[in-house]
């Protein structure tokens, strides 16, 4: 996962995955993406998971490989530095056409960024113009 203006690393510890589980998430097609603001370090971390509902070990590994490749292609342009992303496989991720899977991941990342920006703007109270006396 190289080629970005910022480093992209992998999430490996269970505590990081659990912290992302409390963060906002977006489900799109065969993928759920969770994004958690971590700190101001210009670093993006990504984790990948698939439950037994996806299938046996072979299917789960295939699902994670496909999500890793999609993240490798899309995170450099759509990720925000200082965020952790967790990609969760849903049913059909192994059989979904590659173009549609890329579109699902891209749409989920864009929607998360839009929701995050919308909340940030709503949290800042509007500045009222000074009253003329």
Using the predicted structure, report yes or no on whether residue 126 has a pLDDT greater than 90: no
- What mean pLDDT do residues 99-108 have? 94
- What mean pLDDT do residues 76-89 have? 92
Top pLDDT among 37 and 118 is at 37
- What mean pLDDT do residues 47-69 have? 95
pLDDT score recorded for residue 121 = 54
- What mean pLDDT do residues 97-121 have? 85
Percent of the chain beyond pLDDT 90? Answer: 68
- 132 — pLDDT class (breaks 50, 70, 90): low
Using the predicted structure, report yes or no on whether residue 89 has a pLDDT greater than 80: yes
The length of the chain, given as a count of residues? 133
- What mean pLDDT do residues 24-33 have? 93
| pTM of the predicted model as reported, rounded to 2 decimal places | 0.82
- What mean pLDDT do residues 88-104 have? 94
- What mean pLDDT do residues 89-101 have? 94
Give ∠ CA 86-12-76 in degrees, rounded to 5. Answer: 50
Average pLDDT over the chain reads: 86
Rounded Cα gap, residues 103 and 62, in angstroms: 18
């Amino acid at each position: 996962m190289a080629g970005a203006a910022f480093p992209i690393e992998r999430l490996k510890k269970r505590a990081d995955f659990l912290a992302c589980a409390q963060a906002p998430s977006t489900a799109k097609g065969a993928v759920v993406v969770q994004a958690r603001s971590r700190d101001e370090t210009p670093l993006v971390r990504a984790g990948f998971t698939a439950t037994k509902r996806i299938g046996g070990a072979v299917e789960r590994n295939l699902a994670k490989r496909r999500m890793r490749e999609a993240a490798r292609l899309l995170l450099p342009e759509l990720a925000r530095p200082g965020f952790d992303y967790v990609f969760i496989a849903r049913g059909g991720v192994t059989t979904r056409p590659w173009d549609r899977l890329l579109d699902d991941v891209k749409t989920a990342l864009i929607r998360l960024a839009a929701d995050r920006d919308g909340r940030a703007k709503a949290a800042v109270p509007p500045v009222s113009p000074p009253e003329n006396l």
